[in-house]
Structure 1
Amino acid sequence: MGEERVLRRLAAIVAADVVGYTRLMDADEEGTLARLKSMRRDVLQRNAKQHGGRIFKTTGDGVLIEFTSAVDAVTSAIAIQRALPAHNADLTEGQRLALRIGISLGDVIVEGDDLYGSGVNVANRMQTLAPPGGICISGNVHEHVRNTLDIAFDDLGDQKVKNLDRPIRCYRVRDPAEPAAAGIVAPAPTLPDTPSIAVLPFTNLSGAAEQDYFADGITEDIITALSRLRWLFVIARNSTFSYKGRAIDVRQVAQELGVRYVLEGSVRAAGQRIRIVGQLIDARTGKHLWAEKYDRDLTDVFVVQDEITNVVVATIEPHLYAEEGARAASKPPGSIDAWGLVVRAMGLINKVGRRQNDEAQALLRQAISVDPGYARAHALLGWAIWWATLCYWVPETREGYAQAARHAQDGVSCDPADPWARMTFGLCLSTAGQHERALAELQAALDLNPSFALGRTAHGWALLRAGHYDAAVTETGKAIRMSPTDSFAGIYTAIHGLALLGARRFAEALPHLRRSVSAFAEYSGHYNTLISCCGHLGLIEEAQEFIAARSRVGPPLHLSVLRQNLGKFAHCDVFVEGLKKAGVPE
């Protein structure tokens, strides 16, 4: 029998390695691993996929990526190095990850999904010659790209490298982290599979040059805030501001920048009043996904900027999730990756209902089987189970909360910088009565994403459970103001009303609690709070109507059960007192 034929092909190979990996691991092993996973997913994998590459091997401190084109390989490597400063922006100097990158073009041996041979070996050797943040390429790669990409190179001559018996011609890409010089015509970036957005400079319609600073400030703040959404690829400020003052076509801009979504807006000031208008556009279809205007008194410029930034980001995030979920759902089932499964689940979770919760859990378990280290999948599954348990959609509540906590902890372990993971874990701790730890986790979620409206409501929930009613009222009020119309709005009003009830501000609580029941009639807890509030206000007839309605969605209501369930929480007494006044049996 003849020997099995060896499968070979020509490939451009990118080898990327973390600078000072051993030192970073010695200083902070768990944190370094979490940051490395995040960088692989959000920078390396995203940029490789955007330029037609695939990661075929990961090592402890690096990756190997295959491309069919040397031009794509170099373009992707430059994009990776340019993306790293923004990815590292919130880290200390000692935590930041830097890469050396080497690129070669050569014959490779194919074994399954893995590649071997001289093409891989040379790329690894080129990488060792690159400075931190730099890129070195072999001579044959240079021959392929020098007349296609208008990029400057430094000729390093022939280099003798380890384990290769002949010198290799080497070129260094000059300043890969710097934007290309004016006049260079680069190929339009490929639209990534994951969400991408450009925030165009807001237009100053006031006619006064001094208002430019405010329009620019709003734009920059929104870019910064959106960049905290790590599932979203955001074009840097310097790129989008090159369009300032120009008549533009949104579709053309999106094509030039390689993004699917564009956010644009305007600012108009008149006296001490200012109007900010924003709109979110799917540039591929021209569809307007969201538009809103905000009128504010311009008493404190920076306060207004912060408020508008948080409101805009909190409002458009659910719209992006919904649109991405619809896109993922339209793909053939076998082609959906972990991200596609998660974004579909997010669209279902946003609808809050029982059937959607069950479907979301199934998608998230599938996502975790595809990518066990995907923090957001664990976090969302923890949230879905926690919510299902809260709504009595599971047979055993103790086990439900325990499952939710396990997935939330897994999410935090996979990525401590994922705000959904920190929020869900914080809610699990709060439910267990561990108030100080819960508040710390929930504050961490908001530090990671100040525009996280659901996270802000969760923080308010934990505050009121710990007895900090005034702070809870303030926090939950911010959440309502940040995102008054999203699908979680019924939860926001419910927890705001509960905080007001805890503070014995019953008349103020009542309209919020009525709205919460109207928005989400499947959750018996909303009814409980409304019934208690009616009891305190002497609205006994209305309370009895809600008791009857509640019996259709939850277990029988008894004071003894509520005392047991709420015994760990500061608002237990005022809550049960109102129920008793409303006629709820012991």
Structure 2
Amino acid sequence: MAGERVERRLAAVLAADVAGHGRLMGADVEGTLARLKEIRKTLVNTTIAAHRGRIVKTTTDGMLVEFGSLVDAVSCAVGVQREMAENNAGVPQTRRIEFRIGVHVGEIIIDENDIFGDCVNTAVRLQGIAEPGGVCLSDDAYRQVRGKVDIACDDLGPQALKNIAELMRAWRVKLGGESSAGAQAASPAGQGPALALPDKPSIAVLPFQNLSADPEQDYFADGLVEDIITALSRFKSLFVIARNSSFTYKGRAVDIRQVGRELGVRYVLEGSVQKAGSRLRITGQLIDASTGFHLWVERFEGALEEVFELQDKVASSVAGIIDPLLLDAEIKLAADRPTADMSAYNLYLRALPHIRAWAREPIAEAIVLLEQAIERDPQYGPALASLALCHSQNFLSGWGEGAAVESERGRVLARRAREAAPDDPMTVTSAAGALLNLGEDPNLLKRWVDGALARNPSHAFGWLWSGWIRTVSGEPDLAIEHFEMSLRLDPRTMRRAFHLTGMGICHFFQPRFDKAAAVLEASFLELPTYTLTLWFLASCYAQMGRLSEAREFAARHAIGPGGPWLVIGQMFTNPEHRELVLSGLRLATGERA
């Protein structure tokens, strides 16, 4: 009713679910329900009541609880998990009921007996990244409860939570002096969705632990691992998981066997990096993910300026264990040095997190760092290509110093990058992506990316850009294959919406409107602000005859007559494809042809 006052209040929200609920139910429906009911009655509900919590609602596999005190909420979460650990002692792994819990604090909206709002959504998303038997806190919750509850926490760093626009820092509560992931280390086989193994040796390289005294050196450890991934990816005989998926495990104590199932790989490489003064020590261990057996452990030490030689030694040893046919000589031929200037290298590594944020201010910060790197090493291909991508993003988004300036800078830098490092797949692919954003001929860019993928078939980012180039050039079936290959190499990517939108556009062009709408709607749920998704979804609804829905959707997302969507006429080379989407948008916006 108009004028009705919405009730709001500050609260701490606890969200919990049962890890592996589907697996448990599939094995024993009646037994699982009976055990879960008993646990809730005798353990969970009494603990909540003891901490003055209110159970807002329950489902078959979870619950939502409101607390007036954050201290009570966190104490309750820790109490439940510790009691559950005792309760599970002696229970076979396949029958254990384990909860995942997320806690956040903020303003909630009350509607009768239910609660809503960003605070609730955040708690649920934090629960989603918690480990079985673990508790995950938001940064706000951690800062307010620190020193008030007798717990220790691990910093998980910024996390991309589903349907939450900004990265959120999260913390994992340690239970019983060990990481809350202790139960995860012994989690039963089949808990997560398993991917089929490729038909060639497959590997994921997990983030290395930073053992240096300075926590700010995390960026160095992360960059070193990225270079090892790149070095391994150059071998056609290996299937190498992309950095984005590997790094979703950063800061987590995980079961290597589960990692193998979730990423669909046979081998996992993990290790540590310690930088002290001018010396560097890298320790690596290769594990068979199907058995958990350690195949190889070795330590590499040397002067800091020898970092690239040390990386090569790690890559060489791992590749030699996995595939005896790979020779050290082949590795040395493939392993190009990106730069001999460690200062430029550090600047490049520091820029990468800003680039991946794809927002105005971070892009501006990345440009400053990359310009400094290039000033030190004008032939540093990865830095040149990354800078070109930054300027192309400014061009597309209307940021920076104007379209003409940003376009010219992006084009010049992209070509400089390719000239500087013509055999480096990351450099060539990033340069091609920048030029595609700037309207370059896709036929030229196809040759660039095809050459890069021939040198590095495990380059997920290259397959993503190849998919978009094929989409723009009017090859939808091939584009879908390339998007799918990118997702297979990077199954936990945070860029999933960009793959889905590309595939949805390809189905639209076929035309398979029902399939296109389903895929575009899935992308919209992942990233509601992606302009191409909005434009094509509105057009798709119109072409399906769902005109009222198309017009309502267009109006809700400010897609009006004569709007920015007209740029589509310059984006796609196939005239029939252009007309198909434009005619749908004219119908959706009510614009006359």
Q: Confirm or deny a common fold (TM above 0.5).
A: no
Choose 1 or 2 for highest CA Rg.
Answer: 1
> TM-score, normalized by length of structure 1?
0.43
